[in-house]
Structure 1
Amino acid sequence: MRLRLREFRPRTGPHEHRVVQPRQPLRHTSLRGPAPVGTLTGDHDGLNRLAGLFSFAAHSPHTIVHVPLRDGVPPDEGQGPLVDLVLAHGSLGLRASRWPELRRRLRQGGSPLTVRTDEARTARDAAAWRARWRYHDRRDELRHTTHANTFFLFGGRDAFAETAMSLAYTAGWGPWQKRVAEGHSALLSGLWGLRQPPGGGHPVEVLVCFKAYPPYAHFRRP
């Protein structure tokens, strides 16, 4: 997949950071953070591009991927506040508390950037994640937190690749579900591998749903 991005190089003190955003907003995709259950809802284009962004993040350990999902069309269903999304490798050492300072430095246009993702490599990495998960190997859990109207996912190559495949599945099969042409959403997958808090209780989840956008008379399956 070819992704059209904007690249920023903000500095905080002596450190330079590389941050990328989609050049065009994902207008019909929204995220409600988990409390303890959140929802990621989008149309074919939004979920497909988001899958590409996860694939790019999987193989870009020195890059912060920022997806400003609050800029889109507000969804007409669901509960809880809308949040943006940030993806970063755990090895990068990004702290959610430092994000507002970085975000303020992303308002000066940025540089156009076009990248291509490798779907075959993403599929192999996702398969490796699933194989380890099957044997209860939890090294590739996705750490997460919500801060400053942003949901942060901190992970590694294989965990991000698995999420990319989950989103691509929803983007591809969502338009074929019953009643989506009438405006109903369809739950197809989730963000798997989220780290769970100690002590039990209801698991933290983010459900991934497909939803076409109105007018539904114009809906066409891709």
Structure 2
Amino acid sequence: MRLRLRQFRLRTGPHEHRVVQPGQPLRHTSLRAPEPIGTLLGDHDGLNRLAGLFSFAAYSRHTIVHVPLRDSVPPDEGVGELVDLVLAHHTLGLRPSRWPALRRNLVGGTPLTVRTDEARTDRDSTSWRERHERTDGRGDLRHATHARTFFLFGNRDVFASAAMSLALAAGWGPRQKGVVKGHSAFMTALPTLVQPPGGGHPLELLVCFKPYPPYAHFRRPGRRGERRSAPS
């Protein structure tokens, strides 16, 4: 996949941080952090580009991936505060408390175009899934919510697994019943989130497909005799 991004180089004291954002906003994608159930709701474009961003994050362990989602078009379903998304390798040592200061300096930036390798992402995703049950939770997605931002910390393989889950949701979401009427469709959940001690309801981040209105412009793929109306 070809991704158009914005790149920022920020310095705090002796440390330089590389941050990337999507070149264009994901207008019809929204995120609510798990409390204990969170939802990532998006159309085909949003979920597909998120799959690419997770794949990019998997192989960019010195880069922070910031996906601004708070200002997307508000969905007409769901409850809870809308939040941004940040992806970072756990080895980077990013502290959520330091993020607001970094975010304030995300101004301008330079264009960046990258390509992701879907075959490599698929291989690493498969490897993670095969190992997961034997590793006692090592490699799960650690997470935190701070300053209206949901942080996911992981490694190459777990980010690759999340990328493949999102690619599946983007590809098969348009084929689900009810989506032509604007209903959302549950597709999958992101790979296992680290659970808090003490039990209770497990934390989950559900991935749902939802086309954007007006729904008359949306057609499920593969139906003969139908053409998608041009957007107004």
Tell me the equivalent position of 2:208: 209
Q: CA deviation at 1:221?
A: 3.8
Letter in 1 for 2:123: R
Q: Find the residue that maps to 1:10 and give its secondary structure.
A: strand
Q: Which residue of 1 aligns with 2:93?
A: 93
Does the 8 A contact of 1:140 with 1:193 survive in 2? no
Match of 1:112 in 2: 111
Query: Which AA in structure 2 matches 1:193?
Result: T
Aligned-pair CA distance for 1:136: 4.8
**1:2, 1:221 → 2: CA distance?**
24
Deviation at 1:134, TM superposition (A): 3.1
CA shift for structure 1 position 193:
1.5
Secondary structure at the counterpart of residue 112 of structure 1: strand
Does 1:41 find its partner at 2:41?
A: yes
- What is the DSSP-based 3-state SS (H/G/I as helix, E as strand, rest coil) of the residue aligned with 1:123? helix
The answer to whether residue 64 in structure 2 is matched with residue 61 in structure 1 is: no
**Once superposed, which parts of structure 1, at least 4 consecutive aligned residues long, lie more than 4 Å away?**
none
Written as runs of structure 1 = structure 2, the 5 A alignment for 1:172-191 is 172-191=171-190
> What amino acid is aligned across from residue 49 of structure 2 in structure 1?
R
Letter in 2 for 1:95: R
Match of 1:71, SS?
coil
Q: Distance in 2 between matches of 1:64 and 1:220?
A: 36
Offset at residue 99 of structure 1 (A): 0.1
Question: TM-score scaled by structure 1?
Answer: 0.98
- Which stretches in structure 1 are left out of the alignment for 5+ residues? none
Q: Deviations over 1:129-157 (max 9, x none)?
A: 10011335421011100000000000000
1:127 aligns with 2:122: no
CA distance, structure 2, for counterparts of residue 179 and residue 139 of structure 1: 38
TM-score by length of 2: 0.94
Aligned partner letter, 2:170: A
Q: Deviation at 1:192?
A: 1.6
Identity of aligned residues (%): 76
Q: For structure 2, which runs of at least 5 residues remain unmatched after alignment?
A: 222-232
